[in-house]
Amino acid sequence: MYWVVDASFAAALFLPDETSSGARMFFAGLKPSDVLWVPLLWWHEITNVLIIAERRKRLTPADVTKTFALLAQFNIETDILYGTRYSGRIYEIAKTCHLTAYDAAYLELAMRKDAALATLDKQLVKASNLSGVSLFS
């Protein structure tokens, strides 16, 4: 199965004070054939979450290293589509669904890959429901 996983959902796997039983169940239940699609910005978002968590003493440098090792265990495919055509599509989705461009990138990717979306973002859940994109629940 194809999934699009946003940064908030992935962060709930490794941030000790933001854990989500749903996120843990999702990642524990993945099959080897499951593909997690992420837009390129996901890697920057995850890295930023780790940097901020370490600065705020929520994670240690060892925790950050363990998190990168954990993420490496999953079948993560990075979508690197970019350009005016792609940005125009994200713009339209963001405008129509009242999302940030960042969140619209996840929804656009799920739509384009015919993938289900795993997110904890309430606005993105609402937009997914309106767009007919399946959600992890």
- Check whether 13 has a pLDDT greater than 80: yes
Domain ranges of the chain: 2-131
Each residue's pLDDT tens digit, 20-31: 788 999 999 999
Rounded Cα distance between 95 and 103, Å, is 11
Enter the tokens of residue 124.
Answer: 């993105």
Rounded Cα distance between 118 and 65, Å, is 24
Each residue's pLDDT tens digit, 75-120: 999 999 889 989 999 999 999 999 999 999 999 999 999 999 999 9
pTM: 0.93
Each residue's pLDDT tens digit, 43-67: 999 999 999 999 999 999 999 999 9
Is residue 78 within 8 A of residue 38, CB to CB? The reply is yes
Rounded Cα distance between 78 and 66, Å, is 21
Domain range 2-131, CATH class? alpha beta
Rounded Cα distance between 67 and 60, Å, is 11
Rounded Cα distance between 100 and 61, Å, is 31
